[in-house]
Amino acid sequence: MAYILGFTCADGCIYHRTLSWELSNKFSSDKDLLKRFNMVLNSNYPIENRNKSVRLRIFSSEMISDLKKLGVIPNKIKILSFPTVPERYLGHFIRGFLDGDGWIITMIRKHGGKEICVGFSNGSRDFMNGLVYNLGNTLRIRNFNLRERKKFTKKGDVAITYQLEFYSDNAKRIIEFLYDGLNKENLFLKRKFKKQLTARQFYEKTKKLNILEKDG
């Protein structure tokens, strides 16, 4: 449930008594995740196949009420607050948020440097500040680069988002925090899970090459 809450903070939509998630239909793993949501929530609502997406809608006044108490409200994009999540569930919550509004990538910079990156993005500064606090408090990370990004929408409006990125050692610590010790009952987006495996391998290979270069 902590994972679903995190994913909802990123990609969920609340409207009156309806909670929904709409994901791209380009990846079978996205539809598989919605199927897992149905199983965990003990629901049997249909997953709709739309033109370019798949959507799961759940109708529950009780669930909506609980989400509102946690700060997940309609039109939440700019005013979302980071909910109070018990420490033992924090990794699941942040993994859910990462699967919705984050990325794990490997990078080769212009000067040839190689590193891994874990990033998060959201339209609420308050939520992102909460993420900074919780990651810093839990993983003892001290250096953060929360940045404001602006872009024009198709209507010509200015959309503001806030991005947070971690590199190399800090990125690896976050990956370990989010993915170490998972079992078959835990939720995760399969394509992001594969990316974190690739990032770990890339990190270890780069680390070994750096050691060899220094020794040489």
Q: Return the CATH number at 91.
A: 3.10.28.10
Q: pTM of this prediction?
A: 0.90
**What is the residue range of 107's domain?**
2-215
Torsion of CA 120, 126, 131, 136, to 10 degrees: 130
Give residue-wise pLDDT tens across range 72-131: 766 666 778 899 999 999 999 999 999 999 999 998 877 777 899 999 999 999 999 999
Spatial separation of the C-alpha atoms in residues 147 and 73, rounded to whole Å: 24
Instruction: Please tell me the total count of domains within the chain.
Output: 1
Q: What is the mean pLDDT of each run of 10 residues along the chain (216 residues)?
A: 94 87 92 95 92 92 85 71 93 97 90 89 94 95 90 80 95 97 93 97 86 58
